[in-house]
Structure formats: C-alpha cells, structure tokens
Amino acid sequence: AQRVTQPEKLLSVFKGAPVELKCNYSYSGSPELFWYVQYSRQRLQLLLRHISRESIKGFTADLNKGETSFHLKKPFAQEEDSAMYYCALLYNFNKFYFGSGTKLNVKP
C-alpha cells in the first residue's frame, strides 16, 4: 500500500541555519512526489514537484529511489519560511496521498 511518512511534527531552526524536512514514501509503482506548503492563514499551495527539478524560494528536493525519500532542503532558512509543509505522493495517476505534515518554525 502507498504511504508517505513525515517523521517530524515540528522542526525549529534559527534564521540562516540549514533546513531539511524529511519525507519517506512507500509505493510499488513509479513515484511522483510533491511538496505542498501552507503559510499561516493561507490555503495549501504547491511548492515544488520532483519532475520539475526546480528550486522554489531556495528550496530543493531530490527523489532518492534507493532510500525511498524526497527530503526538502534549504541551505539558509528565513523567517518567512515558517509554515506547515506536506509531502505528497501521486498514485494511480490521479490520486494524492499526503503525509501528516511538518511544522517549520524559523526563529529570529
């Protein structure tokens, strides 16, 4: 069965420190993975997807099929990065399975 695990409920870092939000998945098919973000009082929005291989707001994520991971990284955290982050797996081409989320708190 498909599964997305985000082991950390809360991650606190200081401004300027590196950030890594962990995501592990379980899926027998070819995975397509995404990171969604929800800032305070805003709606859920797409941050990035692995097939685009892009950097958004300084964040990157690499799909590691050997470790079944899709960790989100940023070298220097900013206070405005504080938000809830959800890792999501697309399965059966049409449905998304979301992890339980990690709250990132960037302290000044």
Q: Tell me if 37 contacts other proteins by CB under 8 A.
A: no
Residue 49 backbone phi and psi in degrees, to 5? -130, 150
Report which residue type is found at 23.
Answer: C
- Name the residue nearer to other proteins (CB basis): 19 or 35: 35
Using the rule CB under 8 A, give the single segment among 12-20, 23-31, 43-51, 75-83 that binds other proteins.
Answer: 43-51
Does 48 interact with other proteins (rule: CB under 8 A)?
no
Q: Which stretch binds other proteins (CB under 8 A): 11-19, 20-28, 37-45, 63-71?
A: 37-45
Separation of alpha carbons 100 and 97, rounded Å: 10
Could you give the CA distance from residue 36 to residue 10 in angstroms, rounded to a whole number?
A: 16
